[in-house]
Structure 1
């Protein structure tokens, strides 16, 4: 058995608009200047406390805590108005992989369960993933804790697991866990950055990703 572990934001769903709406509302709620989307997207994949510390480095920890709570509330409200769409080909890829007898699927995301579970509900993805690892139970990426737990739950050793992600945090997490990583070019970090972080390869679309996983699983 092999384990394919997916990131969520920027890999399965294009959540940039919802994330930026949430961050805008959070920063406005605590009286801090609103940040451009490009700056916000550099922190996608990190747990919220770490992301807030990077986005508001001159604020103290109490303000970071307020930002986290304001973002959670704002993200929920923004999601009701405009849910993040799946990338083209994502659903077909997940359905095909989850139907295989030789593969298990998992998620390792900087989102909390509060954000992840509604997304799975919306797109009918519950039951497709054997293991769901979120920021609620682990240190922020690129710490490898999420991957270690996913592999432990699946009973899979590192040589039979692969990480799929769009940010350097995903790639660095995989390197730290001793597993290969496939980067995706449609997400929030540049291809060159993914390559420099240690991605075994970077694919351009879900068709290419499916082929790369097929080659890896031989």
Structure 2
């Protein structure tokens, strides 16, 4: 079970922007004027686009330096996450309820770097439901669809079970999440809690779309249905 983080489980956009601004200044020596919107993209992609829109010619060492600076800047602000951010409606109950399903292991597939993903979920007490070692993260040099397959490979190595669209489910709020899941080989539940509307998530190919995570029973039923023989046949 793969969860997107931002606008699916938590919203910490204010803190994230501040961390990006500090990292940008640390790497370029200039103030950040414009930060490109995440829209489901990994930090590695956001970094390059942000450099470009701010008139910085990317060099070979810019990405690793920026990601390192971003992780440090975000860690310095972790105390602000619960105060200035929010947990998305129903996130805790959804994670807790899904964790009770037999055979389910929950991790994340996120555009954010690993350390920041841990800080984001830990701030709201959601980290205890997540196996972070099996996930896929924004500092890894893969598109999100490939990153999903990397996460499946990690799970197979740990658990000894091959993971395919028949036994892998992703939950995300953006059309990019949906597209990555379909290309990478996972069933996908869209939640219209982020910037993508219900109709957009459906058009992108989501197997199911929920308004948010506030109905934990509905989330559990969706996950169970998509991983059951009947659910796979219907899909």
What is residue 96 of structure 2 aligned with on the other side? 95
Q: Which TM-score applies when normalising by structure 2?
A: 0.75
What stretches of structure 2 of length at least 5 have no aligned partner? 229-235
Q: Which TM-score applies when normalising by structure 1?
A: 0.79
User: Is the CA contact 1:27–1:34 (under 8 Å) kept in the aligned structure 2?
Assistant: no
What stretches of structure 1 of length at least 5 have no aligned partner? none
Matched, 1:149 2:148: no
User: Is the CA contact 2:136–2:150 (under 8 Å) kept in the aligned structure 1?
Assistant: yes
Aligned residues: 211
Deviation at 1:150, TM superposition (A): 4.9
Deviation at 1:53, TM superposition (A): 1.1
In 2, distance between residues paired with 1:20 and 1:74? 10
What is residue 77 of structure 1 aligned with on the other side? 76
Partner of 1:82, secondary structure, is helix
Deviations 1:60-112 (A, max 9, x none): 12444443333222222232223443212110111111122243322222233
In 2, distance between residues paired with 1:25 and 1:178? 37
What is residue 215 of structure 1 aligned with on the other side? 225
Computing the radius of gyration from Cα coordinates, the structure with the larger value is 2
Classify 1:7/1:193 alpha carbon distance in 2 versus 1 (closer, same or farther; 3 Å).
Answer: same
What is residue 110 of structure 2 aligned with on the other side? 109
User: Is the CA contact 1:106–1:150 (under 8 Å) kept in the aligned structure 2?
Assistant: no
What is residue 179 of structure 1 aligned with on the other side? 186
In 2, distance between residues paired with 1:65 and 1:128? 29
What is residue 14 of structure 1 aligned with on the other side? 11
